[in-house]
Amino acid sequence: MEAFLVVVVVLLALGFDYTNGFHDAANAIATSVSTRALTPRVALTMAAIMNFVGAMLGTAVAETIAKSIVDFKDASNHMSLTVIVCALIGAIVWNLITWWFGLPSSSTHALIGGLVGAGLAASLGIYWSAVYNKVVLPMVISPLVGFGLAFAIMLGVLWLLRNAQPARTMRRFRLAQTVSASAMALGHGLQDAQKTMGVIYLALLTVGWADKDAGIPLWVKICAAAAISAGTYSGGWRIMRTLGRKIIEVDPARGFVAESVSATVLYFNAYVLHAPVSTTHTVTSAIMGVGATKRASAVRWGVAKNIATAWVLTIPAAALVAAIFFFILHPILGG
């Protein structure tokens, strides 16, 4: 039964990674597509490739997911695997719900909420200090930093280019967006694919199929990178419309600044803080930041309010779904 559950965890984790890809494809390319810097298909191809590359560049975030959310040390292998299965179901269900309504919610927080909810339902310990320091604080601070940096840098760009010819300047920013969108897609792979690696690694550690000192196996990295890359290539058009046009009409200069700031925040959290931050939260707040430099009313705050509501609900909603599935599946699976 344990071997079966490990296989289920791997398949569900890769399924979650795939939904993460098409759910979050918009994060990297929405502004580039909306400004016509890139065609949709070229943008998706580029994002898929950069997602794969980014997923292979680090494991610190994966280690955080595997070791710093739920305390499995006193749980049986069967119980641990059941909790992981239910956590993944909770995350996938919430991803699909928010994708259907076109809301750019956080796949990161859906997964963490699923782990917390299933862990609590199983009466396991939760590392609340780690959840607070590495999840809740970055969840609050990263969007604020993204908004503030994007707003400040955009003001600086506008001042520097105040006498430049608008048409020529925008053409150059369209070219520059190829670089900034690639950097954003790389950061998305670096952050989000690692969460799937972390869950699979956790399942392998639980049954002794992985060496804690050796780190995450190469096949896990490749599978996670491929799944998120395939999901990204399949597209995320509903959410892309929300990010690219419904929050604010983004021009190439603002798109470039929003993508550059978002990528910087993602890299800093992955390599310095080892914190699993949300690419969705980061890029959405950066888009709002550059939009606010036009005028406050240029940002459609009603749409922003709906997005913020989805942000707040993600962790408890995914936790609730995961807990419900635990109560359903645990008696069926036994153990």
Residues whose CB is less than 8 angstroms from the CB of residue 18 and which lie 6 or more positions away in sequence, other chains included:
227, 228, 230, 231, 234
- What CA–CA distances, in Å, run from 201 to 48, 91, 139? 23, 17, 24
User: What secondary structure letter does DSSP report for 216?
Assistant: S
Residues whose CB is less than 8 angstroms from the CB of residue 110 and which lie 6 or more positions away in sequence, other chains included:
90, 91, 94, 95, 314, 315, 318
Q: Are 18 and 230 in contact (CB under 8 A)?
A: yes
Whole-angstrom distance, CA of residue 147 vs CA of residue 108: 19
Output helix, strand, coil percentages for the chain, rounded to the nearest 5.
80, 0, 20
pLDDT tens-digit profile, the chain (335 residues): 788 889 999 999 998 888 877 766 666 677 777 777 777 778 778 888 888 898 888 788 888 888 888 998 888 888 999 999 999 999 989 888 877 776 667 778 889 999 999 999 999 999 999 888 888 888 788 888 988 999 999 999 999 988 888 888 888 888 888 888 889 888 888 888 888 888 999 899 888 888 877 888 999 999 988 998 888 777 655 555 554 455 556 788 888 998 899 999 989 988 888 888 877 778 888 888 888 888 766 666 666 676 677 778 889 999 999 999 999 998 887 65
Phi, psi of 70 (to 5 degrees): -115, 140
Taking the domains of the chain in order of start, what are their residue ranges?
2-333
DSSP strand E in the chain: where?
70-71, 125-126
Whole-angstrom distance, CA of residue 82 vs CA of residue 8: 10
DSSP string, 142-202: HHHHHHHHHHHHHHHHHHHTTTS-HHHHHHHHHHHHHHHHHHHHHHHIIIIIHHHHHHHHH
